[in-house]
Amino acid sequence: MLDTASLILALPELVLTAAGLILLMIAAYAGDTSAKMIGWLGVVALGVAAWALCPAWTQGGDAFGGLYRGDAFGAFAKGLIYLAAAVCILIAPRFFEAGGANGARAIRAEYPILILFACVGMGMMVSAGDMLTLYVGLELNSLAAYVLASFMRQDGRSAEAGLKYFVLGALASGILLYGISLLYGFTGSTSYAGIAAAMADGLSHGETFGLVFVLAGLAFKISAVPFHMWTPDVYEGAPTPVTAFFASAPKVAAMGLTVRVAMEAMGSAASSWQQIVVFVALASILFGAVAAIGQTNIKRLLAYSSINNVGFALIGLAAGTAEGVAAVMSYLAIYVVMTIGSFLCVLQMRDSQGNPVEDIASLAGLSQSRKGLAAAFAIFMFSLAGIPPLMGFWAKFLVFDAAVAAGMTGLAAFGIAMSVVGAFYYLKIIKTVYFDEPAAEYAPAGSRMESALIAVSAALIVLGYLFNPLLDTMSAAAAAALH
């Protein structure tokens, strides 16, 4: 139902959709030469949309007859999503201008527009109050993501990444949709509230099946083990700015979606999904830590790192408490900064001709030629490994704390043990950067904006503790919005 209150709550999505359509017209008439300007306008639109989150953050409520819920939880996740998307728009032109694998070719105007539409979909995902909104939002995001993955269509690896992502994503959508239809059939409702009410009187077999299939479909989207197999290939093949986007914004959206579905729609069946989430979390942590060890490509390594991180974030969800949810949100906030920072560093990896390189071996001896970049690499890797003075430690601490408070000491202990295993490959990169015989030198930095973004993310990771009270208040407010 269309009323003013609903429209105000859904204002971020409306702003982004309108901006996307207008920019599409500009792109149609001005062509690819206007791509940079469209990118900046897209960033402005993301800023306006972030401002439009205020009504949802301060009061919140249901919109469109319960299809959509604007609340602090959604606003928090959307803030992160818009931030990550804006960075991924800004860093793109320089990468595409360098030509990627073959041939110089400037960025195309559709790149920022597709990211804006993906953001609309992600906003719907985290604000869904109904399985239908969830699915439509997910498809909107996924469809834009498939195109972005194969954006460099002349590059074989990029095309392969897009195709793989598309086929496996369609499979995941099918699994998810099957689960949703089972839930609808056995509970008689697609709304989270209706499903929760129907599950409150004990879980029937059909509902259990529906729950398992829905969680399996969502695990696919957050690339959690055992549904992670697409991640390394897609992350490696996609253009680096797109990979940075995949590793940050959709991850936040899918995690937010999973948390909301688990806590709101299936909250009354918590004991049933907790065992699934615990297993998925453990498997992701273990696999992400072990499989990354043998990687030689930095993007593949970061893909396994993201699988690993999703596992840690899921520990907070496994706790099933408000503190757990708050921990997940804080984790995601810190994870987004770390991941974006790492990919910004990867973007700096260019050989003397300016072509992007992705070999970890080419990082050898970086500390002698590019001291700043080497330090940034060290900060992000130490943070991802969870070494104490950096924010990555605080994120892990929060989720383990929530798990212990919920009586899951074993899970927390396993997570801590595995983070030591994971630390190995992060430290290996630092060792390559600082202690190996220098390899061929990289091209100089060349972009003030990228250097500034790296500096800001690194500063956030190092000095993030100053913002801890703010972060804690915001995640607690986000978690309190779920009921």
Partner 1 sequence: MIQVFAFYLFAVLMIAAGALTIFARNPVHSVLWLIVAFFNAAGLMVLVGAEFIAMLLVIVYVGAVAVLFLFVVMMLNIDFAELRAGFVSYLPFGVLIALGLLAEILLGLGVWKAGPLQLAQRAAPTPADVPNIKAIGQVLYTDYIFLFEAAGIILLVAMIGAIVLTHRARTGVKAQNIDKQNRRRPQDAVVNVNQPVGQGVEL
Site for partner 1, rule CB under 8 A: 1-2, 6, 10, 17, 20, 24, 63-65, 67-68, 108, 110, 113-114, 117, 120-121, 124, 132-133, 136-137, 139-140, 143-144, 146-147, 150-151, 153, 162, 184, 187-190, 194, 198
Pick the closer one to partner 1 by CB: 2 or 466.
Answer: 2
Pick the closer one to partner 1 by CB: 114 or 314.
Answer: 114
Pick the closer one to partner 1 by CB: 1 or 470.
Answer: 1
Residues forming a β-bridge with 62: 69
Pick the closer one to partner 1 by CB: 146 or 380.
Answer: 146
Pick the closer one to partner 1 by CB: 16 or 385.
Answer: 16
Minimum distance, C-beta of residue 181 to partner 1, in the bound complex (Å): 13
Minimum distance, C-beta of residue 250 to partner 1, in the bound complex (Å): 14
Which H or E run includes 69?
strand 68-70
d(CA 239, CA 216): 27
Minimum distance, C-beta of residue 235 to partner 1, in the bound complex (Å): 19
Minimum distance, C-beta of residue 3 to partner 1, in the bound complex (Å): 11
Q: Where are the alpha helices (DSSP H) in 31-130?
A: 35-51, 54-58, 72-90, 92-97, 110-126
d(CA 273, CA 313): 15
Pick the closer one to partner 1 by CB: 60 or 415.
Answer: 60
Minimum distance, C-beta of residue 468 to partner 1, in the bound complex (Å): 37
The residue behind tokens 């498939």 is 146
Cβ neighbors of 7 (< 8 A, separation 6 or more) are 14, 63
Answer yes or no: are the C-beta atoms of 32 and 109 closer than 8 Å: yes
Minimum distance, C-beta of residue 162 to partner 1, in the bound complex (Å): 8
Angle (CA) 253 235 242, round 5°: 65
Answer yes or no: are the C-beta atoms of 303 and 237 closer than 8 Å: no
d(CA 246, CA 226): 19
Pick from 415, 404, 398, 400: nearest CA to 479: 398
Answer yes or no: are the C-beta atoms of 284 and 224 closer than 8 Å: yes
d(CA 339, CA 84): 10
Angle, helices 322-347 vs 72-90, to 10°: value is 0
Pick the closer one to partner 1 by CB: 69 or 370.
Answer: 69
Minimum distance, C-beta of residue 410 to partner 1, in the bound complex (Å): 39
Pick the closer one to partner 1 by CB: 187 or 243.
Answer: 187
What is the CB neighbour count within 10 angstroms for residue 50? 18
Minimum distance, C-beta of residue 137 to partner 1, in the bound complex (Å): 7
